[in-house]
Chain A
Amino acid sequence: MEEEKTLDALRDACPGAILEAGLSLGDAVAVIRPEDLPAVAAFLRDGPPRMAMLLDLTCVDRPDESGRFEMVYHFLSLETYARVRIKARLPAVNPEIASLTGLWKNADWLEREVFDLFGICFADHPNLSRLLLYDGFEGHPLRKDYPLRRRQPRIPPRQDGPGS
């Protein structure tokens, strides 16, 4: 199995980095220690798996688990079209992980989006500022503890508008 080979190669290259590994829907999935992300990503890109493309990078908020924020990275090999999914769990307080902008340019905006909506800090990011929301927006709306009905309008509503 090609996926198993990729995971084994990753285990050899970054000993101790992989906490869990398996297959999901035909793709290799590995949960790694957050501090090992740069080494794992560099190996996936430049080592034998040849994952030349960072497809997507996002975050999942699981408030009830100890590693509350789960970063998810999707990689694609342009030679074999194999995909690998890498996950890293971050704590609820001061979640921080290394930036991948040095390896993939497109990580720039993806990480800014995650910073904007989840409040994850990316160390060594060249310009970690809001991407989608406006200046003055408080909080991170894709966190599960963001109030469902909280609205932060930029201009006050009409005085004779609905509900007044």
Chain B
Amino acid sequence: MSGNFITTSFNAMLGWGRKYSLFHYPFVTACCGMEYMSAACSHFDIDRFGAGWTRFSPRQSDLLLVVGTISQKLAPVLKTVYDQMTEPKWVIAFGACAASGGIYDNYAVVQGIDRIIPVDIYIPGCPPRPEMVLDALLKLQDKIQHLEPDWRWKKKKP
């Protein structure tokens, strides 16, 4: 029998599977997009961490990357995109603008996307280095791995 089976718990296996198969939807609006491209392409390569699939449909994604400034005019669009994603879903606020509005403290810009949608990980920086993006990804994977056992039956608040 030795070597023919492993023992684990269902949630540990589910978390392990989920965290290494993140399909992300890049909601790129501003200059942070250049840094996102750097992180996504071969120099830094988020595919090494299992998040290499970029899906350009929110319905097929479980990680929403909000990359750049979100204006008040765009806010309903971002909300719609988030609502279109199926559970389980996670959100990363990529860069100072998405996290807090950044330098744009004015009439036109949403002061942080957490006023519209829930956010799991905030990446500061204007723009953040790709290493910080990878660090955020690892932290998100850690969060996914350690989700509560009954998370599937808890409805996330909108």
Chain A contact residues, CB within 8 Å of chain B: 132-134, 141, 146, 150-155, 157-162
Contact = CB atoms under 8 A, between A and B. Distances in A.
B107 A154 contact: no
Contact of A150 (B75, B107, B115, B158): B107
Contact of A162 (B73, B75, B79, B115): B115
Given A153-B75, A158-B117, 8 more contacts: A133-B73, A141-B108, A155-B75, A157-B115, A158-B115, A158-B116, A159-B157, A162-B114
B127 interface: no
Contact of A154 (B76, B106, B112): B76
Interface string B62-80: 0000000000110110010
A157 B116 contact: yes
Contacts of A161: 114-116
Determine chain B's interface SS by DSSP, over half rule: loop
B110 interface: yes
Given A141-B107, A159-B157, A160-B157, A152 B115 contact: no
A146 B116 CA distance: 24
B118 interface: yes
Contacts of A141: 106-108
A139 to B, nearest CB: 9
B107 A134 contact: no
- Of the listed residues A141, A159, A162, the one surrounded by the most CB atoms of chain B closer than 10 A to its CB is A162
Interface string B116-158: 1110000000000000000000000000000000000000011
Interface residues of B, number: 18
Contact of A152 (B107, B111, B114, B157): B107
Nearest to A135: B73
B148 to A, nearest CB: 18
B118 A158 contact: yes
B72 A152 contact: yes
Given A141-B108, A146-B107, A160-B157, A153 B114 contact: no
A155 B76 contact: yes
Nearest to B115: A157
B72 A134 contact: yes
B67 to A, nearest CB: 20
A158 B158 contact: yes
A37 B103 CA distance: 38
B107 A153 contact: no
Shortest 10 CB-CB contacts between residues of A and residues of B? A141-B107, A157-B115, A134-B73, A155-B76, A161-B115, A154-B76, A160-B157, A153-B72, A155-B75, A162-B114
Contacts of A146: 107
A132 B75 CA distance: 14
- Of the listed residues A134, A141, A146, the one surrounded by the most CB atoms of chain B closer than 10 A to its CB is A134
